[in-house]
Structure 1
C-alpha cells in the first residue's frame, strides 16, 4: 500500500515560526494530489517532511501502515523531484539513471532493462550516452524523472520549482508526471502556488494557508 496519512502534523522552526500547523490528511494509494497555496503556507515543507529532508516537530506520517518519522530518507521508497536535480555532470544520462539501482546491487540485466524502459517512456532513449553537461534543461529534467521511476518508488514528490519557472518546460513536466501516475500507479504529490494550473489538472486539490488546510476540492 502506498497511501499516505498525516496525523496532527506540525513543523515549528527554532525562531518560533509555525510552518505546518496540526495538519491531518489521508491520500489514497495511487492518487494524484495537488497542494496549493501562497508562498510560505507550508505546502513544500510537508513534502520535505515526507521525504525526510525536514524534521517533524510533532505528529505522524504513515506510508501505508509504516510510520515514516524515524525511517531514514534512503529507506522510505520515495522519489523527490525538487529544483536541484543533483545529476552528476561527469556521468552520462544512462549512468545517472542507473546509479541508484547499482547502489542497491541489482543485477546488470535488471538495471539495463529498467533504465531503457524509463528512457523510452520519457522519450530520451537517444540521449542516454550523452554527458549531463551537454544536455538541455528539459532533457536534464527528464533524466531526473527517469532516475526516480527506475527505482519503482511508492510515492513521487514534485515541488513546483522543479520546472525552473519556464512555462513550456513546466507544461512538459506536468504531462510527464501525470503520465507516470497513470502508467505506474505511483502516488503523486505536486506543489504549486498557481491556481489556474492547479484546477486545470482536474485532480484533488488541498488548499493551504498559514500552515493549515483550508479546503479540499
Structure 2
C-alpha cells in the first residue's frame, strides 16, 4: 500500500473535485486505503492505474464494492450515471438563459465553457466548467457538454452565465433497481463535485457493449 505522499506524486494537484473529494490531498487518503479508487482521477495516466474492466459486468462487480448508495448528505439514490468511453464525464444537455447566445458566441464542439446552473429546478451553488462534445444546436439554443475541472476555464474558458440543465445521458453499470422508461429515479452523476443526488425521468434506454445507455430529463437536485 502506497503512502499518501507517494500517491500525491501521481496526482495532478488540480483540486478539481471531479473525483468527489475537495482536494487531491483528501483523495490521496482514500487511495491509500483503497488503491483501486485512483481510477476516479481522470488526469492520472493509464500507466499509473489498473486496466479497465473488460466488460460491463466486470465494471459493475468492481464498482459495487465501493458504493454506499448514499450521497454526501446521506440521501439514498438508485443508480450511478457513468460516462461514455473516452469522455470525461456524463453528458449534459444545457440551455442558456438567453439561447440566442449559443449562436452569438459562436460556440462549437471542443470549446471550454463555464457558468452556473440556476434555472427552475436544477439550481446548484457551484459554477461548472465543461467541454462541448457535440456541435451546438443554434436553432434550439442547446449545448451538449461534459463537466470537467475548473482549471481549463482559467486557460481558455468562455463565460455563458446562467443556464439550465435539461438532460443527462450516460451509461449505467451499477443500479439498485431495474430501470424503466417513464419512471422517475434518484441518481448520482459520476464526478459530481458536491456528490449530491439528482432526480429525473428516464425517457430512453438502450443496451450497448459498454453498458446500459440512459437519457434522463425533468431534472432536479435533492
Q: TM-score range by the shorter chain?
A: under 0.3
Q: Return the structure number with greater relative CO, CA threshold 8 A, min gap 6.
A: 1
Q: Which has the higher helix share?
A: 1
Q: Which has the higher strand share?
A: 2
Give the TM-score normalised by structure 1: 0.25
Give the TM-score normalised by structure 2: 0.25
